[in-house]
């Protein structure tokens, strides 16, 4: 289905971005391979595209074409009155039109998602220290078997690897990992690895809904560890 929208985010180093359209509730992902314009994509560029849905991972744009060159091609015709005296300056090259249009889209669009705050970063590091301390005390007191240490390290390494693979899939437009699977890894004890992956890879770190569920998995896992070490789950 063909739609019109505006590029609200473009990452040139990673060759992908997002289009916002009034006809679609969520921002539409597109890769540079799906772009058909003669000039590089940029934020603020009006485009027309074909919207598809693959694997339940949100909308994706194909055959993305810029609208700005088509509209601007006839706007410079107003100086034709001076064409008799100075005909050459009235003709503009594509590079001149692109250079003239670039300074305008400097404004960053407002988005509902925000990067993690300093308070959130401090809180998660305190939780990590407390979590490591609880596990160490549980191992020393004999309330936890020693294989728990290896399992905790393994699940965090696995979580970081899964985030890395999902980040690569997002950049190349391949099959993505379900967000529910990422949350299950966090709930199983991989939430520290998930945090470091979100910050170092810049993946899932700005999506408000995902971050809210992630924090819920952190709270539930830490509460379960405290309950177990406190003996509240011994009778189950």
Mean pLDDT of 87-103: 57
DSSP string covering 173-208:
T-PPPPHHHHHHHIIIIIHHHHHHHHHHHT-SSS-H
For the chain, residues classed under CATH 2.40.50.140 are 1-111
pLDDT in tens, 137-158: 888 888 788 898 889 899 999 9
pLDDT of residue 104: 53
When the candidates are 2.40.37.10, 3.90.660.10, 2.40.50.140, 3.40.50.300, the CATH number that belongs to 1-111 is: 2.40.50.140
Are the CB atoms for 179 and 207 separated by under 8 Å?
A: no
- Predicted TM-score of the model (pTM): 0.45
Per residue in 181-227, pLDDT (tens digit) is 899 998 898 889 888 888 888 887 778 888 889 889 999 988 888 88
């Amino acid at each position: 289905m063909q739609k019109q929208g505006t590029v609200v985010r473009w990452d040139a180093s990673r060759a992908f971005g997002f289009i916002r359209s009034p006809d679609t509730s969520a921002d539409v992902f597109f890769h540079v391979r799906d772009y058909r314009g003669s000039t590089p994509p940029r934020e603020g560029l009006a485009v027309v595209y074909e919207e598809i849905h693959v694997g339940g991972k949100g909308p994706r744009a194909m055959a993305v074409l810029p609208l700005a060159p088509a509209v601007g091609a006839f706007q410079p015709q107003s100086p034709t009155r001076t064409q008799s005296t100075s005909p050459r300056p009235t003709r503009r090259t594509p590079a001149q039109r692109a250079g003239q249009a670039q300074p305008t889209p400097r404004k960053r669009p407002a988005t509902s998602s925000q990067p993690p705050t300093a308070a959130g970063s401090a809180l998660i590091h305190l939780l990590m220290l407390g979590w490591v301390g609880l596990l160490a005390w549980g191992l020393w007191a004999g309330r936890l078997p020693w294989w728990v240490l290896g399992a905790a390290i393994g699940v965090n390494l696995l979580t970081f690897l899964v985030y890395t693979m999902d980040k690569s899939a997002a950049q190349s437009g391949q099959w993505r990992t379900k967000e529910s699977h990422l949350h299950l890894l966090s709930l199983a004890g991989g939430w520290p690895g998930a945090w470091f992956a979100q910050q170092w890879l810049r993946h899932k770190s700005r999506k408000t809904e995902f971050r809210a569920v992630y924090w819920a998995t952190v709270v539930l896992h830490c509460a379960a560890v405290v309950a177990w070490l406190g003996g509240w789950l011994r009778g189950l």
